[in-house]
Structure 1
Amino acid sequence: MKHIIERLGNIILKSKGELSNRRIAAFLLLMNVITSASVSIYIPSMKQMAIDLQTTNEMMQMTIVAHLIGEFFGRALSGPFINFHGVRTIIIPALILSTIGHFGCCVSASLPFFICMRFTQAVGASVIYVASLSIINDLFNEKEKAGVVGLLELYQPVAWIVSPFVGALFGELGNWRLSFFVLMIAQIVGLILFSSCPEKKKRRNIAKFSAKNLVKDYKIVLKNSYFVIYALIPGLFAGGYMIFATSCPFIFVNNSADIALFSAIPLLFYVCGTFVYRYIVRNYSLKLAKKLGVAIYLIFGIYVLYLTVYQTNWNAFYLLSLMCIQCIGSAFLVPVSVLKALESASEAASVGASTVVVFRNIIMSVCISVSAKFSGNIVTIMACVFMTVATILMLVTTRRVIKIRKKKQQKNLQQ
């Protein structure tokens, strides 16, 4: 059976008899989109789910909380486990766990059981992003890696744009259980393909994995101040966007169509910005992409200053334009910061990848909670502060790293 699964995976991922890095990259993106879609695909059907599960609309919100908690634990633990045992050893049990979770959601008849299954599914599925970064770090050279990480970062905006519409369609075709059934089938396909993804770098062969080893790995990466700063930058950008997305639409607009517009259009700008970033990295350099990202944020800062001084009453257009500029800048700077974080983490790259996404989840949760207590322009200013701090950190840290490298090169030449 194992031989048949690996053979089927090789047929799909191979091109001209060899494993295709392009197909592997596309597969990793697809799996991360599916994983992220599981958060929001059932939101259009929540009212019907509350009736079927004999609960209230408010209690249905607990299912999202359960997913976020499971995702946090899964991502925090997956990095060290992958670092010790390798991607394939960890990802296959994780996908089996996620498949069981989706099946459980599909057949749930009560809310407590559904929440348990959401937690189970999230723990397993959360490993996919960390495993994807680890596979990219193993397979691709520096130039290819920059483009692939940029492509991978598309997973969340694409999922957030598409999944509610897909969930609504499944709700019309059958019922909300169909969404989880389709996600379960997708996880099974992912299980087959992940078993065929190669690993080039050897991992530490430790038979017994202990809590002491886990803490030791996190100490290694968290002691590196450059890693910590680079790992915080994606979270600050994401936090700034989440302040906009979750608070401002309800402050500045009234109907649901406009609220949907607020969340979809900026993410489309992010998608377009990512493809421009990949083109620049492929044909020019990562350094140029970073400079363009910083330039976009300078334009963003000037625009914010103009609105603050000359436009005391901000309308929906001003807010939407701010979000679009911010998303284009993030499309350039987020992949750069993730790459720099992985580079700083060195041998503990899997733990580094895990830390990046844990930081992002924590900052996003804090931003959403804090912004809910404020209103109007204060929320927008908070978001701008987060994104400005992220840009400054990127500039200062990069300059510092370059200076240290130059000093080391000079010492080596003198010796």
Structure 2
Amino acid sequence: MRADVLVVGAGLAGLWTATELARRGHDVVLADRRTRLDATVRTTGIFVRRTLEDFDLPPEHLGPPIRRMVLYPPSHRNPVTLDSAHDEFRVGDMAPLYLELATRAAAAGVRLELGTRYLGRQDGAHLLHGPGGPVEVRATFVVGADGARSAVARELGLDRNRELLVGAEEVFAVPHRPAAVPAFHCVLDPRLAPGYLAWVLDDGRHAHVGVAGYADRYPHGLRDALRRFAASAPGLAGLPRPEAVERRAGPIPVGGLLRRIAGPHGLLVGDAAGAVSPLTAGGLDPCLRLSAHAADVLDRALRTGDRRELAAYDGAALRARFRGRLTMRRGLSLVRTPAVAAAGVAALRTTPGRAAARRILFGHGSFPEPRTAGAPQLRLARYP
């Protein structure tokens, strides 16, 4: 099989990159190990205002808007409530959203190969194993959209994620409550979420209850922490919790965008590139922006026939603009006792603290706008 581009991984990053390239006339193969794209969802699916303004996402697969964030100390008492004048967040119903984006990809001409594993490179070809057995793809470029532990990164000799959190959450439908205010509740408690947060996201349709942190700091395991948190999580008082819930889990790269995310034979996008906010661990806005940038760079390389165009896909240059959040990530990783966590939330009650929290949580700085010398500015996809 021959193609201009082989994309490995049909999550949000892979689907977006493949579709953009196919819409520009390139022959694209998109391979994913899953037999169904609506299975094994790993992300909470939080889209921020900047993403909703700039990218054409199917509104029928987005939950109600959320304008309120509530930040809690370990005791859950005296939280800090922040309200925005804008619709700041919407949660994607990721299973049908993936299916809709796959339909768009197929309409653009992407050849989607499901149930197909990436095995590596050999003699200039990429080896896959699909439902019918081994498949050899000779592609000009390969795109690693295969997650935080990317096999494509290994094969291309690119950087790989070293700093990872592990996260788990439960998702279930909630009854309609006319007086309820959709809210994003976050708890800073190193006993439940060492180095990160525990959360309850309730948009009035579904509740997402989750924890994340450094794996080696969970003495009794991640699932035990989630069970303990769910038993007393804020924002759920009086809500019935069904016995059957959707469970999600997976690694979260928080070491910042990797420096070497491209080489002469391909590049990385999404979690594989570390395109996740080091502080908030939000990954969907960086995912889409980096994918759009990747499509621009690959399009130029394919049209000019010059592999050196991929040098414009420079992770180190983008990473330099994350210094502040990388510093805050190191600070959050050092929060190891409830007393320190409580002091941190107390600091957010001050006027400067509230202003800083609003800039981080409601600001437009989740990912720098990729620009390359002599290249057109980032083009944002709009679909009919």
Q: Which has the larger radius of gyration?
A: 1
Report the structure, 1 or 2, having the larger helix content.
Answer: 1
Bin for the TM-score computed over the shorter chain: under 0.3
TM-score, reference length from structure 2 = 0.26
Q: Which structure carries more relative contact order (alpha carbon 8 Å, separation 6+)?
A: 1
